[in-house]
Structure 1
Amino acid sequence: MLKASQKCRRDDIYSVTFFWGHGSLLVVSLLESEAVVIKTYPLAEADKIVVAYTRKYGKLRGVARGARRLRSRFAGRLELFSWIGISAFERENQDLVQIDKVDLIRSFGLGCGNYRCFLQLNLLGELLIETVPEHEPNEPLFRLLLLVLPEIQDPTRSDLAQLYFEVWHLKLAGLFPSYRTCGQCGVSLFNAAHVFYGSALNMFLCGNCKGKALPSISSKSYQLLHHVLTEPLGHLNGSFGLTDGDSRDLADMVETQLQRSFERRFDCLTLVRNQS
């Protein structure tokens, strides 16, 4: 029989410990945060497994009981790329949290301008699922996601938004090299006609230090990279879009760095390329 309970608050997590006799029976923590739904799976006949990237707790996986029923209290609130407020219960030694309440803030998944935008949204989800550890909060990464989501719905800006997310995801992970000077001799790269990238060394190089043949990016692409790393996405002019062939070399370099740094191939990246 339930005998007593204790409540405490730690790091925005409310914990309740239930006791049975003199021994602890169960510890349940209440998690409350903003989140973006990045993947869902069906479970049993009526339930749904939800993968969400949260502001306070990082990536979480949870079960929404009855979410697939027509009259579910979660109806329309757990669609892919929905920005939500979520409340969930976490029990000790259980991988999945129990989703209790969801409030929809904004839905980004239903307003895609075309199929390519839809694939680019799914690429963001794949990157977060495959490269971000569970339960590791990253406030800058969450803000980056919210910054990019509305832009990637617009076909005229989706390529720029994708590039912005990829570059900053690498930078926030500590995997993007210094770009202002040559990684070998230290000379400024701003006035170079071409900048070379050594993927094995993970550094940018000038023409004198490039050694063997390496992929290069044009001065226009290099200036775009500088703008991406120094300005908010909303301030970047749409003329920088990657439909311009002059900037495709930068996208290729960043995508190669993504797959090399995280040591995996991303399926959605291949699908997006095939839509070019």
Structure 2
Amino acid sequence: MQQGLAIVLQVKDHGDSDKIVTLYTLEYGKIVLIAKGAKRSKKRFVNKLELFSLLAIHFAPSRHSSLMRLDQAELLNPFPRLRENYERYIAASLLCELVLHWTREHDCDEELFRLLVWALEGLALAGGAVNRTIIFFHVKMLDILGYRPDLTGCLDCGLLGAPGIVYRFSTMRNGLVCSRCEPQATGNISQPLSIQTIQLLRRAQDMEQGKLERLHFSPAATREAVALLKRYDNHLLQREVQSWSFLG
């Protein structure tokens, strides 16, 4: 029998009475388990296997399946406020979907687990900034996983902030290309990024979690940052992250 802390990333029905649950755990990374009888449970799993809930779990290898067997789940935090507000529910769903698609099974990362819990707690705060939390989480997640976008300057000339120069992000090259170098550039070039957006994303890359309130995005910078991260996901994952389409 093994145990650990976990966030619910995905739940699917399986047969008449079971559920397949994908969790991101502190101790084991992403794991997939079968919860036998969960659809009919009156005690063990009732109201526990819900998206983005924080659980303490007990599980074991199954004798009859390649899936591990979820035996017990204690609900530590269901984040009820996230379930009372559509925008925050979608934001929390997006964070979980990002971790679901960006991570591999049994690849443990304590920093990413704690970042996810911190972001869910931040979204649940009455005054928490939704888009700012999403952007900050996404930027930090990319750092942890080794996909940090290069925003230090144009990949070809190295400059940033020259007057009259437009900057775009190349998803193929993972960095900025300026309008002077773009005619000779190769690779997928996305929408323009303002200097303000670039500087804010760079601050987010280096900022500690506890200082998030110092990060202020204008509506235009928010739109640019979200569009960039969405495109970056689609390119590197080679699939769409569905929750992006529901985010206002």
- 1:254 is aligned to 2:237: no
Q: Answer with 1 or 2: which has the greater Rg.
A: 1
- 1:165 is aligned to 2:165: no
Give 1:172's aligned amino acid. I
2: CA distance, partners of 1:86 / 1:64:
11
Higher helix share: 2
1: CA distance, partners of 2:162 / 2:45:
55
The superposition leaves residues 163-205 of structure 1 with CA deviations (integer Å, 9 ceiling, x where unpaired) of: 1222223232322332223221233x36777533122322113
- 1:177 is aligned to 2:153: no
Give the share of equivalent positions with the same residue, in percent.
26
* Post-superposition offset of 1:92: 7.5
2: CA distance, partners of 1:185 / 1:126:
36
Structure with the greater relative contact order (CA < 8 A, sep ≥ 6): 1 or 2? 2
The 8 Å contact of residues 82 and 123 in structure 2, kept in 1 or not, is answered as no
Unaligned runs of at least 5 residues, structure 1: 1-29
Aligned match of 1:88 = 59
Aligned match of 2:19 = 48
1: CA distance, partners of 2:231 / 2:2:
37
Q: List aligned pairs for 1:26-105, cutoff 5 A.
A: 30-69=1-40, 71-91=42-62, 94-105=65-76
- 1:264 is aligned to 2:242: no
Q: List aligned pairs for 1:8-19, cutoff 5 A.
A: none
Give 2:193's aligned amino acid. I
* Post-superposition offset of 1:72: 1.9
Which moves more between the two structures, 150-159 or 248-257? 150-159
* Post-superposition offset of 1:157: 0.9
The 8 Å contact of residues 74 and 102 in structure 1, kept in 2 or not, is answered as yes
The superposition leaves residues 217-254 of structure 1 with CA deviations (integer Å, 9 ceiling, x where unpaired) of: 12221221022111134412377246x12431122112
The 8 Å contact of residues 79 and 109 in structure 1, kept in 2 or not, is answered as no
Give 1:196's aligned amino acid. R
Number of aligned residue pairs? 242
The change in CA–CA distance for 1:61 and 1:248 in structure 2 (over 3 A counts) is: same
Aligned match of 1:223 = 199
RMSD, aligned α-carbons = 2.7
Unaligned runs of at least 5 residues, structure 2: none
2: CA distance, partners of 1:262 / 1:162:
18
